[in-house]
């Protein structure tokens, strides 16, 4: 029972009882971390699959827990590694804070930033580091970190666990937070070597438990109508005005970013700004379940998608018959989806070493043929989804014929499971 003294217990739907130390709880009990309660882990999937309602908040708790549990197990079985309490606490803090930088609707925000502010080269991991610094300073946690023996080098270590090293990865040892004899610590939260880490363990379990599918829900053009202004002083908040700081620039100010989460749709929907009227129409479509209609899906036969979504849209329109002149280019939406096992087109098991019963002290790679003859030849898949903005059956049927012709001429394989995707939303355009 001693582990529960001065700690806080959380009941998690995946991992059961999670016991966290006072320092971790002090991080959790801040506006910057509580913000994660209002950021859906699966973006817009919740609009179609109601059970996929879990948030970055519980995921971060899970990663913190798994990271600590993993290190405790390793320490008990391999004391010669010299794992310290400080090592474990730093890994837990990194697991807790690794997603602080996520924007509204999680990974969807990254796609929005790519289009709205490509010069920013924005990554949520780097934003997490900025938010962590702000969280510590804003909530005056420096003394508490010091009392828990978290040094300046430990803070560097925590940030490296989240985002990687500052120096060139080609250096003999690019990390500053820990020496090379503890290189294994860098493979727990965000494994750069093979992609197998507790972050993925938790969200695989959590996403499967929620029975949600990783579908995309494009708010890119909707959010381009929005502007954010920073109200100075302690009462800072996110509000909307024309000709002010762009939404894609909010990450530069953590005090404003703290207030930015999935509630942005509610703010847009209740705004009286005339500039937001087109965006409000899209929000209303969501609320009325007037989702874009699924036309079909297809994959390149060679497995590599070498054409942009916009070029596919143009090609599809070029296949229309003259009698279908009532269909406009703006009626069709193409979304490309890229899926892999965490290492692009490579087999992640090539980067994992295994111990054998006959030689338990030596780890070595395992050949593909030693694992199973049933492993796939490719470890990445690229698929295009085609939607119609208008729900007219004549338009949908015409676009289906166009997609068939496109697949035939461009060596794409047409997917048959249309009904399975028929309600996936793709509101990444604005009705004219």
Contacts of 14 (CB under 8 A, 6+ apart): 62, 202, 205, 206, 209
CB 86 within 8 A of CB 185: no
Which of 312, 295, 314 lies closest to 412, judged by CA? Answer: 312
Residue burial 23-62, b: 16+ Cβ < 10 Å; e: rest: bbebbbebebbebbeebbbbbbbbbbbeebebbbbbbbbb
- Report CA-CA distances (Å) from 205 to 37, 202, 231: 18, 5, 40
CB 285 within 8 A of CB 427: yes
DSSP three-state, residue 431 = coil
Residue 289 burial (10 A CB sphere; 0-12, 13-18, 19+): exposed
CB 416 within 8 A of CB 403: no
Q: Determine whether 124 is an active site residue.
A: yes
Pick the catalytic residue from 124, 209, 387, 415.
Answer: 124
CB 185 within 8 A of CB 161: yes
Angle at 234 (CA atoms; ends 243, 60), nearest 5 degrees: 90
Give the tokens for residue 206. 């959590």
CA distance 179 to 414: 51
CB 192 within 8 A of CB 177: no
CA distance 145 to 132: 13
Tell whether the torsion through CA atoms of 190, 196, 197 and 198 is positive or negative. positive
The set of catalytic residues is 124
């Amino acid at each position: 029972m001693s582990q529960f003294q001065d700690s806080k217990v959380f009941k998690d739907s995946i991992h059961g009882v999670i016991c966290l130390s006072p320092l971790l709880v002090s991080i959790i009990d801040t506006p910057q971390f509580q913000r994660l309660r209002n950021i859906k882990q699966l973006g817009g999937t919740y609009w179609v699959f109601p059970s996929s309602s879990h948030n970055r908040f519980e995921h971060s708790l899970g990663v913190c827990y798994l990271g600590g549990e993993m290190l405790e197990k390793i320490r008990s079985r391999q004391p010669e590694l010299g794992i310290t309490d400080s090592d474990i606490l730093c890994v837990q803090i990194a697991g807790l804070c690794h997603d602080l930088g996520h924007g509204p609707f999680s990974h969807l925000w990254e796609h929005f930033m790519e289009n709205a502010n490509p010069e920013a080269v924005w990554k949520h991991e780097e934003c997490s580091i900025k938010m962590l610094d702000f969280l510590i300073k804003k909530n005056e946690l420096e003394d508490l970190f010091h009392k828990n023996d978290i040094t300046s080098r430990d803070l560097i270590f925590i940030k490296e666990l989240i985002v990687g090293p500052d120096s060139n990865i080609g250096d003999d040892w690019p990390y500053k937070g820990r020496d090379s004899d503890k290189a294994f610590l860098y493979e727990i939260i965000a494994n750069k070597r093979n992609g197998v880490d507790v972050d993925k363990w938790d969200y695989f379990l959590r996403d499967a438990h929620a029975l949600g599918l990783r579908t995309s829900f494009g708010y890119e053009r909707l959010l381009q109508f929005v502007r954010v202004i920073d109200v100075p002083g302690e009462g800072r908040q996110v509000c909307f005005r024309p000709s002010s700081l762009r939404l894609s620039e909010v990450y530069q100010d953590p005090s404003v970013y703290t207030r930015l989460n999935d509630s942005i749709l509610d703010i847009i929907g209740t705004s009286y700004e005339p500039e937001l009227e087109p965006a409000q129409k899209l929000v209303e479509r969501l609320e009325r379940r007037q989702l874009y209609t699924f036309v079909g899906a297809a994959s390149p036969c060679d497995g590599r998608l070498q054409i942009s979504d916009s070029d596919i849209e143009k090609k599809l329109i070029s296949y229309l018959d003259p009698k279908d002149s009532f269909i406009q280019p703006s009626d069709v939406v193409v979304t490309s989806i890229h899926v892999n096992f965490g290492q692009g087109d490579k087999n992640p098991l090539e980067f994992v070493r295994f111990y054998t019963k006959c030689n338990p002290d030596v780890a070595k790679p395992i050949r593909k043929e030693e694992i199973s003859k049933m492993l796939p030849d490719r470890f990445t898949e690229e698929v295009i989804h085609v939607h119609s903005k208008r729900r007219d059956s004549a338009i949908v049927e015409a676009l289906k014929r166009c997609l068939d012709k496109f697949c035939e001429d461009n060596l794409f394989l047409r997917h048959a499971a249309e009904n399975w995707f028929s309600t996936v939303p793709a509101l990444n355009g604005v009705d004219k």
